[in-house]
């Protein structure tokens, strides 16, 4: 049996094991010759198109699976149309600061850009040009919906003043639908007091 072929929904057996966090199945599949970096053939929620198994583990916060795949040589950086790893971690609703920090520790470039020019990833130890740009342009820090996640990215060197292709900065992005109001206000106040951003009209005066 070829364990590096696609199955239902454009995913391989290893993709499914990564999604469910089944490390026992993943080990068996890898031992049988499954391709650890095989890219999916269809678009899937949060991870987009052309995602490797480890990206599903990141999306679902399967920490043991992440560690297993990284130990076995999983790559975290792929050319477009693959969504950058850091973007997936930031966009996942249950993302923890631990996961973002793990990607930072693995050498992921927090300023890499996805197809919309939104920054977030590119692995330095995989020989990838950390300043290479894909086809689009928003940063990972713009995607944040939690203050802790934003601080982790800033501590790792995220370009806070960056703007997207339409000239929108991080303050504009955190005011978009999907960012909880309480977290949005905390992030906005941090950007104002620590980075000198002008106070937006939508931010309540405390």
The Cα 124–Cα 77 span in angstroms is: 9
pLDDT at 113: 57
Residues 15, 63 within the same domain: yes
Residues 10, 79 within the same domain: yes
138 pairs with which residues across the strands? 118
Q: Which residue has the higher pLDDT, 182 or 117?
A: 182
CATH (domain of 20): 1.25.40.20
The Cα 16–Cα 68 span in angstroms is: 15
Backbone φ, ψ for residue 173 (5° rounding): -65, -40
Q: Which of 104-108, 110-114, 149-153, 168-172 has the lowest mean pLDDT?
A: 110-114
Residues 44, 95 within the same domain: yes
Residues 103, 170 within the same domain: no
Q: Which residue's structure tokens are 């713009």?
A: 142
Q: Encode pLDDT of 57-116 as tens digits.
A: 888 888 899 889 988 989 887 877 777 777 777 666 444 455 666 666 666 665 655 555
Residues 103, 53 within the same domain: yes
User: Rounded to two decimals, what is the model's pTM?
Assistant: 0.57
Give the tokens for residue 201: 């009209």
Q: Which region holds residue 111: left if phi is over 0, alpha if psi is between -120 and 50, else beta?
A: alpha
The mean pLDDT value for 24-35 works out to 93
The total of structural domains in the chain comes to: 2
Residues 62, 81 within the same domain: yes
User: Which among 62, 96, 120 is the end of a domain?
Assistant: 120
Give the sign of the dihedral formed by CA 67, CA 93, CA 157, CA 132.
positive
Percent helix, strand and coil across the chain, each to the nearest 5: 45, 5, 55
pLDDT at 124 over 60: no
């Amino acid at each position: 049996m070829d364990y590096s072929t696609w199955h239902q929904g454009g995913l391989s057996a290893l993709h499914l094991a990564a999604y469910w966090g089944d490390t026992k199945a993943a080990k068996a599949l890898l031992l049988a010759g499954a391709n650890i970096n095989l890219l999916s053939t269809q678009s899937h929620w949060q991870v987009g198109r052309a995602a490797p198994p480890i990206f599903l583990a990141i999306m679902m916060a399967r920490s043991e699976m992440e560690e297993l795949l990284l130990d076995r040589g999983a790559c975290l950086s792929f050319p477009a149309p693959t969504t950058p790893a850091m973007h997936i971690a930031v966009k996942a609703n249950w993302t923890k600061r631990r996961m973002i920090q793990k990607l930072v520790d693995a050498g992921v470039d927090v300023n890499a850009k996805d197809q919309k020019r939104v920054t977030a990833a590119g692995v330095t130890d995989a020989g990838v040009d950390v300043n290479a740009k894909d086809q689009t342009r928003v940063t990972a820090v713009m995607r944040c919906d939690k203050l802790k996640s934003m601080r982790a990215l800033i501590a790792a060197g995220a370009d806070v003043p960056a703007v997207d292709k339409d000239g929108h900065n991080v303050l504009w992005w955190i005011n978009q639908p999907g960012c909880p109001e309480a977290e949005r206000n905390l992030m906005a106040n941090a950007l104002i007091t620590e980075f000198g951003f002008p106070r937006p009209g939508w931010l309540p005066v405390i």
